Structure 1
C-alpha cells in the first residue's frame, strides 16, 4: 500500500502537549516510506491552532468541524486526506521507525479494513509495583493477553491505528458523541472497529512490530486513577454493547475475564505464597479490585443509562472549516 500512499492524522486539543505534538509530527514525517500527507486536527483551541499552523512545517492543520471531542476531531482530520489508507497517531505518542510500514502491510489483503500496533507505556515516574501487566490498557498501553505476532483481532486502539478509507467512510467514521470528552472515557475505537467489520465483513489485524511510545503521567499511577479508569471502562463497554450487538459485541471482554484475569490472580497469589515479594500479592489484589470496579461501572450503566451522553450521528459538522496548508 505504500505505493498508493498513506496519510497520517494526529488529533490534538491542549497546549500543554505542544512539545509532544511536535515530536509526534516529526516521528510521523520520519517514517519510511514517508506518509503522503500529515494532518494535524485541533479540537476547539484557537491558540493551539495558531501554534500548529505557525510552527509545524510540512503538515496540513485543520480545526475540528464537529462538537468538541476526539471522535469528531479524528473524523475532521481524515476528511482532509485523500489517500486510500489513513493512519492515526495520538498527539503525545512517538512512532518508532517502521511503524507506518508495519501498519500498512496488512492492507495487501483486500479483506483487511484496519490495523493497529503495539503501544508501549513510558512511565514519567516509577511504575507502581502493584500495577498488573494485564491492566496496562488502563494507561493506554498494550497489555498481557494480546497477540505477540501479527494476528487477527476484534479491535485495535486509535492511538496507533490505520483504516481503509472506503470502510471508514461506509460507517461515517468515529461515532460523534461517543468518545473521550473531559474526564469521561468511552471506547470509541472499539465501537468503530465493530461497525467497520459489520458493515464490510472485513477484518482487523494487530501488528506488534509497529510500535509507538505513549507517556503515562504521574497522575495516572495512583490507585484512585486506576479504579476510576476501570469503573469508566465498565460503563463504556455497557454503552458500546447497547449501540452494537449487545452481548455478542462483548465476547472479547468475557474471554478476558474468564481466562486472562484469573491466571493473573493465580500468578500473583502463588508468587506471594512462595515468598517472592509482596508485589505479587499487590498485583493480584489490583486485578481483583479492577475487576470489581469495572463490574460496578457496568452495573451502574445498566441500571441508570447516561442519557446525556447518547451518541449523535456523525454526518454533519457543527462549525465552519478552518484549514492551514503545509508551509
Structure 2
C-alpha cells in the first residue's frame, strides 16, 4: 500500500561497517531452503509475505508483486494481500486468487492506513518470518533467500534489503540527488554496501522475526501513510527503536543482496513532491522523537545531515563546475530538502507539545484472520 515515492522510514544510518565483525553476526552455512511447512519443501524458516494494497489503480502492479513472490528461489509459505477498506478491490482480488492455495486476501481489520494493514497481516501470518513488499514493487528471485539466510543467527530480529527506483520517465531526473532516494521509497546514497547492522530497516523491503512483534508490539497507528492523502512515514523507525529497547540483544540488518525494484510514477519525479515529502518526513520524525526521545529518534539523522549531505552538495557543485548536467540542481535540491525537513520537524514538534503523541502502539495477537 505504500505509494510510490513514500519513504519507508526515512534516513537510517548503519551502526557498523560492512566488514566489521559486528555487522556479520553468526556463521552462515549452506544454501537455505524455503517454505517450511509445505509438503516436500526443504528445511528453513517459513516466510509469510505481506503486501498491503488500497487502490485498483495499481491492479497490474499488485499482480506483478505477487508473481515476483511466487517466483522466489526460496519459496514463500504464503502471500497475504491486505486490502485497506476497499471492498471492490478486495472482491476483485478474491476472484483473481480463489483457485490458489498460496495467496490469501484479507481485509484490514484496523483503522485506515498502512500500519493497521501491516498489523492485520502480521496477526494472520503463519510463518516464523514476516516479510513486507510494497504493492508497486517486484522482488528479485533471491530476495527471500537472503532474508532467510540471515535468520540462521537467532539474535537477528529484522532484515531489510535494497530498493532500486524504476523511473516512469525511463531515467533519473538530472536534479534528483541519490542522497534523497528515500523520498521515493528507495535505498539512498550514504548506506554502505553488504550486510550491515542498522538502527532501523526500511519497511517496503523488510522482514521481521514473528517473535519481534510479540516483544515490541505492532506498527504504530496514526503515524504512517494513509493511501495518497497523508504522506507521512517513519513507522518502521519507531518500531525498530522500540524493538531494540524491548530486546537489547536484538540484531537488525540490511542485506543489499535482497533487492526489489520500486516503481516511481511521473508525479513523484517533480520538485514539488520532493519538497512536500521532505517536509512530511520532518513531521514524522518529530512524532518519533516525541515517542522514543530525540537521542534515539534522531541518532542516525545527525550523521546523515552532517556527513552524507554535505558530501552530496560538494559533488553537485563540482559537477556544476565541470558542466555536468544537473550538478547545481542536485546541490540545490539537497539544501532545499534539508530546509523542508527541518521546517516539518519544527512544526511537528510544536504540534506534539500541544497535543501529545498522536499515535498508539497496538499489541499483535496471533490470530487466524478471516479471508475476505
1:220: which partner in 2? 268
Which runs of 5 or more structure 2 residues have no equivalent in the other structure?
Answer: 1-31, 35-43
- Per-residue CA distance 1:55-95 (angstroms, 9 max, x = gap): 03331111001010110101101111122111111111100
Q: 1:97 aligns with which of 130, 137, 141?
A: 141
Cα displacement (A) at 1:257: 0.3
1:236: which partner in 2? 284
- Per-residue CA distance 1:18-73 (angstroms, 9 max, x = gap): 11111101111111221111111111110111011110333111100101011010
Q: 1:24 aligns with which of 65, 73, 84?
A: 65
Contact 1:13 1:43 in 2 (8 A): yes
2:186: which partner in 1? 141
Contact 2:53 2:83 in 1 (8 A): yes
Contact 2:46 2:128 in 1 (8 A): yes
Cα displacement (A) at 1:308: 9.1
* Number of residue pairs the alignment of both structures matches: 321
Cα displacement (A) at 1:271: 2.2
Cα displacement (A) at 1:158: 1.1
Cα displacement (A) at 1:141: 0.8
Cα displacement (A) at 1:249: 2.4
Contact 2:120 2:369 in 1 (8 A): no
Q: 1:39 aligns with which of 80, 97, 100?
A: 80
Matched, 1:301 2:316: no
CA distance in 1, matches of 2:190, 2:142: 23
Contact 1:138 1:229 in 2 (8 A): yes
2:158: which partner in 1? 114
The 10-residue stretch of structure 1 (295-304 or 43-52) with the greater mean CA deviation from structure 2 = 295-304
The 10-residue stretch of structure 1 (297-306 or 240-249) with the greater mean CA deviation from structure 2 = 297-306
1:83 aligned counterpart, secondary structure: coil
Q: TM-score, normalised by structure 1?
A: 0.94
Cα displacement (A) at 1:176: 1.8
Matched, 1:252 2:252: no
2:55: which partner in 1? 14
Cα displacement (A) at 1:184: 3.2
CA distance in 2, matches of 1:4, 1:120: 26
- Per-residue CA distance 1:282-323 (angstroms, 9 max, x = gap): 111111111111111111112233849711242489xx9641
CA distance in 2, matches of 1:67, 1:266: 44
CA distance in 2, matches of 1:157, 1:316: 20
CA distance in 2, matches of 1:316, 1:177: 16
1:32 aligned counterpart, secondary structure: coil
CA distance in 2, matches of 1:73, 1:308: 24
2:111 aligned counterpart, secondary structure: coil
2:310: which partner in 1? 262
Contact 1:24 1:93 in 2 (8 A): yes
1:156: which partner in 2? 201
Q: 1:190 aligns with which of 217, 233, 237?
A: 237
2:332 aligned counterpart, secondary structure: helix
2:298 aligned counterpart, secondary structure: helix
CA distance in 1, matches of 2:75, 2:369: 27
Pair 316,197 (structure 1): closer, same or farther in 2 beyond 3 Å: closer
Matched, 1:5 2:53: no
Which runs of 5 or more structure 1 residues have no equivalent in the other structure?
Answer: none
CA distance in 2, matches of 1:264, 1:291: 12
Cα displacement (A) at 1:235: 1.1
Contact 1:9 1:88 in 2 (8 A): yes
When the two chains are superposed, the root-mean-square deviation of aligned CA atoms in Å is: 1.8
Matched, 1:127 2:175: no
Matched, 1:203 2:287: no
2:326 aligned counterpart, secondary structure: helix
